[in-house]
Amino acid sequence: MIKNIISGIKAYFGAFSLISKLKLWKYFAIPMLISLITAIVIFSSAYGLSDDIGTFISKIWIWNWGKEIFTTISSFIGGLTIIILGLILFKHIIMALSAPFMSPVSEKIEAYLTGNIPSSNRNTTFSEQLWRGIKINSRNLIMELLITIPILLLKFIPVINIFSTILLFMVQAYYAGFGNMDYTLERHFKYKESLQFINKNKGLAIGNGIIFLLFLFIPFFGVILVLPLSVTAASIKTIETINNKKY
C-alpha cells in the first residue's frame, strides 16, 4: 500500500513535461474552465454557510456553563464541515463533467507510453463517456459522504479528532484518485471491473489524490492546474499497472 501511494505521488514529477511534449494543453481548456467556475460557485457559497452551521450546532448545548467554549468549537467544526463537503462536491462535479475531455487525453498518453494505438474493449461516444463519468462520480459521492459524516462526528472527541482529520484526508484522496484513474479504465473495463481494479490498487488512487487535494490549497492556480496534472499522473500509473497485469 505505502509503495503504491509513493508511486502514485511520484507520477506527478513528469506530468507537466509530458503534457507539453504531447501538446495536450488544448484538451484541458474546457475542463479548466469548468474547474474554475465550479470552485467559485461552491466555495463562495460555502463561505456564507459556515457561520450558520456553527450557530446551529451550538444550539445543541443547552447549559450556560461551557457555552462559549462549545460555541467556538462548533464554529470551527461548522467551517471545517463546509470546507470538506465543498471539496467533496467540487471534485466529483468537475470529474463527472470533464470525463469526455479527459478520456482522449488518457488515450494519447497511452499511445505514447506503449507505442501503439490503445487496444480498447470499450468504444464509447461523448455522451456515453459523460454518462459514465456522472455514474462513477455519483456513486463515489454517495459512498464518500456515508464515510465522511461519521468521521466528522469524531471531531467532538478530544485526541481522536486528530486522527479523524488524517482519516478524512485519506478518504478524500482515495476518491479523487479513483476519479482520475477511471478516465483510463473506461477504455479497458466495464463499470464493475473498474471498481474491482481500483479496489486492488487503492494505494495508487490515494497517492494520486493526495497531490490533487494539496493543489486545491494553492490560490487560483491550484483549481486550474489540478485536473491536467492529476489526470496525466493517474493515466501514467494506470496504464503501467494494466500492462503489467496483462503480462
What are the residues whose beta carbons fall under 8 Å from the beta carbon of 170, sequence distance 6 or more? 206
- pTM value? 0.83
The number of CA neighbours under 13 Å toward the Cβ of 114 is 21
What are the residues whose beta carbons fall under 8 Å from the beta carbon of 45, sequence distance 6 or more? 86
Domain residues of the chain, as ranges? 2-50+91-246
- Measured distance CA(124)–CA(128) in Å, rounded: 6
Mean pLDDT along residues 123-127 = 70
Instruction: Of 229, 245, 143, 142, give the one whose Cα is nearest residue 185.
Output: 245
Q: Which three cell numbers stand for residue 242?
A: 494494466
The band of 114, judged by pLDDT with boundaries at 50, 70 and 90, is confident
Cell 484513474 belongs to residue: 181
Chain length of the chain: 247
Structure confidence by residue, pLDDT tens digits, 149-199? 888 777 667 677 778 888 989 999 999 999 999 999 988 888 889 999 999
Q: Give percent above pLDDT 70 in the chain.
A: 82
Structure confidence by residue, pLDDT tens digits, 32-66? 999 889 888 877 776 667 666 666 766 666 666 66
